[in-house]
Amino acid sequence: MNKQQPKNVFMADESSFKDQRIEDWVYVDELNEHEEKEVELKGWVYNYRTSKNLYFLELRDGTGICQCIIAKDSVTDEVWNEADRLRQESSLKLTGTVKKDDRSIGGYEVHVSDLKVLNVTEDYPITPKEHGVEFLMENRHLWLRSRRQWAAMRVRNRILYAIHNFFQSQGFQQLDAPIFTGSSVEGTTTLFETEYFEESAYLTQSGQLYAEAMAMAHGKVYTFGPTFRAEKSKTRRHLTEFWMIEPEMAFYDLNMNMDLAELFVKSIVREVLDSCQNELEILERDTTVLENMVNRDFPRISYDEAVRQLKSDDTAEMLDQMLEDRKQELEDLDEEEEELKKERGQAKKWRKAQIDQRVNEIHKRRHEVEEDIRNIPSWKESAVNFEWGTDFGGSDETILMLKYETPILVHRYPAEIKAFYMKRDQENEDLALAVDMLAPEGYGEIIGGSEREDDLDTLKKRLDEHDLPHEAFEWYLDLRRHGTVPHSGFGLGLERTVAWICGLDHVRETIPFPRMLGRLHP
Ligand code: 4AD
Ligand code: MG
């Protein structure tokens, strides 16, 4: 059999470690290199179907899924009986010949000659039928194996790669901030307190203050770690533990900060479009929006302008139209379901299955549409009555973004609603030199950042205004005592970015084991 030859990884004269291989079996995503050859595969049963003399097995091995065919005639009785024991998610290894087949998932199938079951599982809880999301969350450790979840995690991984690639090629140093901290960064209301020997400590809300110190040592740095917010709000955008990427740059003003944020987000989207076509297809992501934004400028508008747009007649009209559209859609969905139900009575088995699937989709969509119909009037209410000086809520961001196809940058927020460390606008002291990037399609804020206050006395004043104890921030104030310079930075929320790029409804599906209000297990 054509086994992969593991090379001796300890050989010093090999030129590249990339070519070194540990495994002697083949992965599904390598089948194209082994056409007409015999290979060994290891994995799990994703799905299966049997007939009298044939066993069709969808093998999942972490890199992809491929159809494997066991023909009674071409294997021993022993192998045929082994195959007979397989159930969903049983683990196995098999040997077979790789055949090109355009109809197969992935374009290849494997004609099996030998097979060994490693573990039979009889009652895997997640079946191809529909499950409620609570049930799936309880089984998150298994749900991760499902195709959509797999695809989303692959995109997440690629985004991580893109992030490092971008910053490393831009000359940034990755230097991480501590997770145990002695003070708050983003307000005291969302702190998780924990014991730290005789003291109390907080889980970090942001690595920013430390990034500022490191930027004074290295010029351009980024931190990348888990951050914690005791968010009591149950929304589709909030986690209590999420990952944040925080670049911090000495000598950058707000405009340079925005330039960097825009370039950064475009580079991530470009990378995902280039490397994750398959995953985006599995997720049924409409990629045209993503394609279109990479070559366009992201509009930059002030908070003042955003408020004006939010309260405009245009917006009100757009929402009225949206409500009409949704109502019409609901009628269309009901009609379609009615038709399908009629057809189902006399339909063949395969058609029945098709109809059931479509009906499931209709139910899911109807849920969304009904929710919109319930929400739109209050969204409109909130937009029309929005008061200057308050922060945008999730629905305000969604509405504001209705007319944009790319992310936008909203800058110069009222200082009142922003963090203590933000520098004020010299033209209007009531405004902070803050910037948020809002994603289109209802995904809301993915980036928050600002130029930082670099003057010692002003910063002390801000601490007082925010009731923050000077002792805890002495080290931070030192940065303004010793060679203070203008500087800026921002934080990108990884999970919200993954949700947006994948087109997922909720951030809970963007991280392997989400932590949110009411969710600590598994
Ligand atoms: O806007 P935030 O709070 O900004 C900061 O923490 C700054 N210190 C960053 C900096 O300037 N270095 O958070 C930044 C981003 C948000 O735009 C959002 O994408 C994400 O972090 N984020 C959350 N993501 C998931 N769940 C939550 N509870 C989040 N809170 C913020
Ligand atoms: Mg923010």
Read off the pLDDT of residues 109-151 as tens digits, 9 standing for 90 and up. Answer: 999 999 999 999 988 999 877 788 999 999 999 999 999 999 9
In sequence order, the 6+-apart residues with CB closer than 8 A to the CB of 268 are 159, 162, 163, 166, 497, 501
> Average pLDDT, stretch 92-104?
94
* Share above pLDDT 90 across residues of the chain, in percent, rounded to a whole number: 85
Q: Whole-angstrom Cα distance, residue 117 to residue 36?
A: 24
pLDDT confidence of residue 436: 98
Nearest CA to ligand 1 atom 24: 493
229 lines ligand 1 (CB under 6 A): yes
Return the exposure string of 135-174: e unless at least 16 CB atoms fall within 10 Å of the residue's CB, then b.
Answer: ebbbbbeebebbbebbbbbbbbebbbebbeebbeeeebee
Is 495:486 a contact under the CB 8 Å cutoff? no
Written as six digits, the tokens of 160 are: 């991580």
In sequence order, the 6+-apart residues with CB closer than 8 A to the CB of 266 are 293, 294
Task: Give residue 119 CA to ligand 1 midpoint distance, Å.
Answer: 43
408 lines ligand 1 (CB under 6 A): no
pLDDT confidence of residue 6: 56
Degrees (nearest 5) of the Cα angle 44, 47, 51? 120
Q: Whole-angstrom Cα distance, residue 114 to residue 75?
A: 7
> Average pLDDT, stretch 144-168?
98
With a cut of 80, say whether residue 9 has pLDDT above it.
no
pLDDT confidence of residue 432: 98
pLDDT confidence of residue 476: 97
Q: Whole-angstrom Cα distance, residue 386 to residue 394?
A: 13
Helices (H), 200-312: 208-218, 254-275, 277-282, 288-294, 303-310
Written as six digits, the tokens of 482 are: 């010793």
5 band by pLDDT with thresholds 50, 70 and 90 = low
269 band by pLDDT with thresholds 50, 70 and 90 = very high
Bridge partners (DSSP) of residue 43 are: 92
pLDDT confidence of residue 128: 76
Task: Give residue 253 CA to ligand 2 midpoint distance, Å.
Answer: 18
With a cut of 70, say whether residue 1 has pLDDT above it.
no
17 band by pLDDT with thresholds 50, 70 and 90 = confident
The residue whose CB lies within 8 Å of the most ligand 1 atoms, and thus the one to mutate among 176, 206, 220, is 206
Written as six digits, the tokens of 318 are: 């757009």
Written as six digits, the tokens of 338 are: 């009615």
Nearest CA to ligand 1 atom 31: 493
Place of tokens 């799936």: 136
Q: pLDDT: is 19 or 225 the higher one?
A: 225
SS3 457: helix
Task: Give residue 337 CA to ligand 1 midpoint distance, Å.
Answer: 42
508 lines ligand 1 (CB under 6 A): no
pLDDT confidence of residue 103: 86
pTM comes to 0.93
Using alpha carbons, list the distances in angstroms from residue 4 to 34, 40, 50. Answer: 10, 9, 31
| Peptide bond connecting 469 to the previous residue in cis, omega within 30 degrees of 0 | no
Query: For residue range 184-223, what is the model confidence (pLDDT) as tens digits?
Result: 888 778 999 999 999 999 999 999 999 999 999 999 999 9
Secondary element (H or E) of residue 117: strand 108-119
Would you give the end-to-end CA distance of the chain in angstroms? 41
* Share above pLDDT 70 across residues of the chain, in percent, rounded to a whole number: 97
448 lines ligand 1 (CB under 6 A): yes
With a cut of 90, say whether residue 409 has pLDDT above it.
yes
425 band by pLDDT with thresholds 50, 70 and 90 = very high
242 lines ligand 1 (CB under 6 A): yes
421 alpha carbon, closest ligand: 1
pLDDT confidence of residue 337: 94
Task: Give residue 244 CA to ligand 1 midpoint distance, Å.
Answer: 7
pLDDT confidence of residue 273: 98
With a cut of 80, say whether residue 14 has pLDDT above it.
no
DSSP string, 350-374: HHHHHHHHHHHHHHHHHHHHHHHHH
With a cut of 90, say whether residue 238 has pLDDT above it.
yes
pLDDT confidence of residue 380: 93
> Average pLDDT, stretch 450-473?
96
Nearest CA to ligand 1 atom 2: 448
| Residue 28, burial from CB neighbour count under 10 angstroms (0-12, 13-18, 19+) | buried
500 alpha carbon, closest ligand: 1
With a cut of 80, say whether residue 4 has pLDDT above it.
no
Written as six digits, the tokens of 213 are: 């110190």
In sequence order, the 6+-apart residues with CB closer than 8 A to the CB of 22 are 6, 9
Helical packing angle, 470-481 and 456-465, nearest 10°? 160
207 lines ligand 1 (CB under 6 A): no
> Average pLDDT, stretch 30-36?
96
Place of tokens 């540990």: 22
491 lines ligand 1 (CB under 6 A): yes
Task: Give residue 237 CA to ligand 2 midpoint distance, Å.
Answer: 12
With a cut of 70, say whether residue 25 has pLDDT above it.
yes
> Average pLDDT, stretch 294-322?
95
SS3 13: coil
489 lines ligand 1 (CB under 6 A): yes
Nearest atom (ligand 1) to Cα of 185:
8
Nearest CA to 117 out of 82, 88, 141 is that of 82
Nearest atom (ligand 1) to Cα of 421:
8
Nearest atom (ligand 1) to Cα of 497:
19
Q: What is the CA radius of gyration of the chain?
A: 27
231 band by pLDDT with thresholds 50, 70 and 90 = confident
276 lines ligand 1 (CB under 6 A): no
184 lines ligand 1 (CB under 6 A): no
Residue 55: what are its φ and ψ, rounded to 5°?
A: -130, 115
In sequence order, the 6+-apart residues with CB closer than 8 A to the CB of 172 are 220, 221, 222, 247
With a cut of 70, say whether residue 183 has pLDDT above it.
yes
Between β-strands 91-100 and 108-119, what pairing exists: parallel, antiparallel or unpaired? Answer: antiparallel
Nearest atom (ligand 1) to Cα of 446:
19
pLDDT confidence of residue 130: 77
The residue whose CB lies within 8 Å of the most ligand 1 atoms, and thus the one to mutate among 244, 420, 500, is 244
Written as six digits, the tokens of 201 are: 């400590």
391 alpha carbon, closest ligand: 2
Task: Give residue 351 CA to ligand 1 midpoint distance, Å.
Answer: 47
Task: Give residue 326 CA to ligand 1 midpoint distance, Å.
Answer: 32
Lowest mean pLDDT among 228-242, 248-262, 426-440: 228-242
